[in-house]
Amino acid sequence: MADFHVGGIEDAAWEFDVIEPTVNHALRFPSELLGGLDYGSRFCDSTLKSSVLPLLGHSEHIEVLEVGGGTGSFAHSFRERARVSGHSLGYHIIDLSPALRESQRRILSDVKPAVTHIAQDATELDLPGCTFDLIIANEVVADFPVAMVERQQPSENSPTFGGEGATYLERYGLSVDDAPSRFYVNAGVFRFLERAWKHLSSGGTLVISEYGTETRYPVESFHLNHAEFSIHFGHLAEGARKIGFECRLETLREFLSIDDRVPVLNGREEHVRCLNHVFEKYGANLPFALFSEREFQTNFEELAARIELGPIRFLPARRNFHYGPNIDDFLVLIASKPLR
């Protein structure tokens, strides 16, 4: 996966428009689902409060590290929302992809003070002398490596589990009573947790959002140009507590207060592409994004009626027939380092 991020991404927009749409990318514009905010702005509101970041009441300035910055839209919205809300931030992004770092620099070129860009593998995070008050890993840890574990025939002198992932079971006391004979553990995420702990200030918080469940073992999710693995958030919470974090899990829908009752445009990437192909002939552009029915009608209803394009259908977002991933597949781990 490190090799993919270094050399496999050529066009940042295309990567997230078509190949790997994320919730952030789908909601990068102000959205009715988020009360009129975009994803990065709502994430800022949900994160910069004392129930998530305990040191807010003890520090006027917050140093933020974003892990895997995507196109840079998240950082831009997060920074601007923080500024408007009266928060002073220092912002840093760690990313392996040259194409994504270039996109981030372009989108964040107007941000002051300037964002710091770091080319490093987050599972090997090592920034001597640097600590952060908030570390955000939004829709990135599924890219981290996994390790296989195999159940062995029980005997007096041999362990119950073998394979390169077995060491993580013992180190973090992971619950595996329901484990199949062969399974993966999110090894790279555990390595990242350890390094995040070392780089967090006292009272600092790590926020991880990704797709997965509390109980299901990692499974491979194939995209057009690389593979990822879902996250076993139950194991992550156990590992985080073993390291020393105080943590809790929330659904992404709860964390961001996403209103999934809102009717949205039906269809995934190929549908948006087809609609845009037609619209471009009439001088209009339909971005790859998740549009509510009201937003679509505001921007495109007149054109759609004029060219007699139809039927165009809308369903509540909770029906999961829209651009971008299923929101209910995502969880958020909030892990805080005790304030001392």
State the pTM of this model: 0.94
| Higher-pLDDT residue of 306, 154 | 306
Backbone dihedral region of 73: left (phi > 0), alpha (psi from -120 to 50 degrees) or beta? alpha
Q: Among 3-12, 44-53, 196-205, whose mean pLDDT is lowest?
A: 3-12
- β-pairing, 88-94 with 116-118? parallel
Tell which wins on pLDDT, 23 or 309: 23
Question: Residue 157: pLDDT above 70?
Answer: no
Cβ(202)–Cβ(337) below 8 Å: yes
Tell me what the mean pLDDT of segment 172-189 comes to: 95
pLDDT-derived band at 217 (thresholds 50, 70, 90) equals very high
Please state, in angstroms and rounded to a whole number, the distance separating the CA atoms of residues 154 and 152.
Answer: 6
SS (H, E, C) 220-253: EEECCCCEEECEEHHHHHHHHHHHCCEEEEEEHH
Please check the confidence at residue 332 and state whether its pLDDT lies above 90.
yes
pLDDT of residue 267: 93
Residues in CB range of 72: below 8 A, 6 or more apart: 93, 100, 103, 104, 105, 106, 107, 108
Structural domains of the chain sorted by starting position, each given as residue range(s) with its CATH number in brackets: 2-146+186-259+323-336 (3.40.50.150)
What is the average pLDDT across 100-104?
93
Task: Say what the pLDDT of residue 57 is.
Answer: 79
Distance CA 328, CA 271 (A): 21
pLDDT above 60 for 6 = no
Question: What's the confidence (pLDDT) of residue 11?
Answer: 77
Q: Which neighbouring-strand residues pair with 114?
A: none
What pLDDT is attached to residue 225? 75
What is the predicted pLDDT for the residue at 7? 56
**CB atoms inside a 10 Å sphere around CB 191:** 18
Q: For 41-97, how does the pLDDT look when each residue is reduced to its tens digit (9 = 90+)?
A: 999 999 999 999 998 878 889 999 999 999 999 999 999 999 999 999 999 999 988
Q: Which residues of 129-164 are buried (b: 16+ CB within 10 A; e: fewer)?
A: eeebbbbbbbbbbbbbbbbebebeeeeeeeeebebe
Report the pLDDT averaged over residues 124-147. Answer: 96
Query: What confidence tens digit (pLDDT) does each residue in 292-314 have?
Result: 999 999 999 999 999 998 889 99
What tens digit of pLDDT does each residue of 227-259 get? 899 999 999 999 999 999 999 999 999 999 999
Give the Cα separation of 271 and 296 in Å (integer): 14
Tens of pLDDT, residue by residue over 254-294, are 999 999 999 999 999 999 999 999 999 999 999 999 999 99
Q: Which residue has the higher pLDDT, 258 or 224?
A: 258
> What pLDDT sits at residue 227?
81
What confidence score (pLDDT) does residue 154 get?
Answer: 74
- Which pLDDT value is given to residue 143? 93
Q: Which residues does 147 contact at the CB level (< 8 Å), separation at least 6?
A: 163, 164, 165, 168, 184, 185, 187
Identity at 2, one-letter amino acid code: A
pLDDT tier, 185 (very low <50, low <70, confident <90, very high otherwise) = very high
Per-residue pLDDT, 196: 98
pLDDT, the chain, mean: 93
Please name which of 202, 215, 65 lies closest in space to residue 126, comparing C-alpha atoms: 65
Average pLDDT for 131-147: 97
- Answer whether residue 9 shows pLDDT above 80: no
pLDDT the model gives residue 226 = 79
d(CA 209, CA 139): 6
